[in-house]
Structure 1
Amino acid sequence: MGKESRTSVLLGAAFLMATSAIGPGFLTQTTVFTSKLGASFGFVILMSILLDIGAQMNIWRIIAVSERRAQDIANMVLPGLGYLLAFLVIVGGLAFNIGNVGGAGLGTNVMFGLSPEKGALLSGAIAIGIFLIREAGKAMDRFAQLAGVVMILLMIYVAVTSHPPVGEAVVKSFVPDKIDMLAIVTLVGGTVGGYITFAGGHRLIDAGIKGRDALPEVTRSAVSAIGIASIMRIFLFLAALGVVTQGLALDPGNPPASVFQHAAGNIGYKLFGIVMWAASITSVIGSAYTSVSFIRTLSPVIEKYERAIIVAFIVISTAVFVMIGKPVKVLILVGALNGLILPLALGVMLVAAHRKNIVGDYKHPMWMTVFGLFVVIAMSYMGFKTLTTELPKLFL
Structure 2
Amino acid sequence: MSKGSNTLNQQTAKPSRSVLFGAAFLMATSAIGPGFLTQTSKFTAQFGTALSLVIVLAIIMDITAQMNIWSVVSVSGMRAQDVANKLLPGLGVVIAILVAIGGLAFNVGNVGGVALGFNAMFGLNEKIGAVIAGCLGIIIFVNKNAKTIMDKVATVLAAVILLTVATVAVISKPPVGEAVSSLAQLGNAAALLIIAGAFNGLILPVTLGVMLIAGHNKRIVGESYHHPLWMTVLGAVVTLVALYAGIKAVPGIMQLFQ
TM range (shorter): 0.7 to 0.9
Decide which of 3, 13, 24 is 2:23's aligned counterpart.
13
Q: Check the 8 A contact 2:29/2:162 in 1, yes or no.
A: no
- Deviation, 1:347, is 0.6
- Deviation, 1:43, is 0.6
Tell me the distance in 1 between the aligned counterparts of 2:21 and 2:70: 14
Decide which of 192, 195, 210 is 1:184's aligned counterpart.
195
Other-structure match for 2:236: 373
Q: 1:83-98 counterparts in 2 under 5 A?
A: 83-98=93-108
Q: Check the 8 A contact 1:63/1:70 in 2, yes or no.
A: yes
Q: Structure 2 stretches of 5 or more lacking a match?
A: 1-8
- Deviation, 1:24, is 1.4
Decide which of 153, 162, 177 is 1:152's aligned counterpart.
162
Decide which of 26, 30, 51 is 2:40's aligned counterpart.
30
Q: Check the 8 A contact 1:44/1:183 in 2, yes or no.
A: yes
TM-score by length of 2: 0.87
Other-structure match for 1:163: 173
- Deviation, 1:140, is 1.3
State which drifts further: 128-137 or 345-354.
128-137
Tell me the distance in 2 between the aligned counterparts of 1:59 and 1:339: 17
Decide which of 350, 356, 367 is 2:212's aligned counterpart.
350
Q: Secondary structure at the match of 2:113?
A: helix
State which drifts further: 72-81 or 58-67.
58-67
CA separation of 1:394 and 1:123: change in aligned 2, threshold 3 A: closer
2:101 maps to a residue whose letter is: V
Other-structure match for 1:198: none
Q: Structure 1 stretches of 5 or more lacking a match?
A: 190-337
Tell me the distance in 1 between the aligned counterparts of 2:255 and 2:48: 20
- Deviation, 1:393, is 7.2
**Higher Rg of the two aligned structures:** 2
Other-structure match for 1:269: none
- Deviation, 1:375, is 0.7
How many equivalent pairs are there? Answer: 246
Tell me the distance in 2 between the aligned counterparts of 1:23 and 1:91: 17
Decide which of 71, 95, 98 is 1:61's aligned counterpart.
71
Tell me the distance in 2 between the aligned counterparts of 1:382 and 1:185: 5
TM-score by length of 1: 0.58
Q: Secondary structure at the match of 1:55?
A: helix
Tell me the distance in 2 between the aligned counterparts of 1:165 and 1:82: 44
Q: 1:317-332 counterparts in 2 under 5 A?
A: none
2:212 maps to a residue whose letter is: L
- Deviation, 1:392, is 6.2
* Superposed CA RMSD: 2.1
State which drifts further: 44-53 or 73-82.
73-82
State the identity as a percent.
51
Q: Secondary structure at the match of 1:21?
A: coil
How far does the alpha carbon of each residue in 1:241-296 deviate from its partner, in whole angstroms, 9 at most, with x for none?
xxxxxxxxxxxxxxxxxxxxxxxxxxxxxxxxxxxxxxxxxxxxxxxxxxxxxxxx
How far does the alpha carbon of each residue in 1:356-392 deviate from its partner, in whole angstroms, 9 at most, with x for none?
221112222121111111110111122223334x556
2:240 maps to a residue whose letter is: I
Tell me the distance in 1 between the aligned counterparts of 2:255 and 2:142: 43
1:347 maps to a residue whose letter is: G
1:172 maps to a residue whose letter is: S
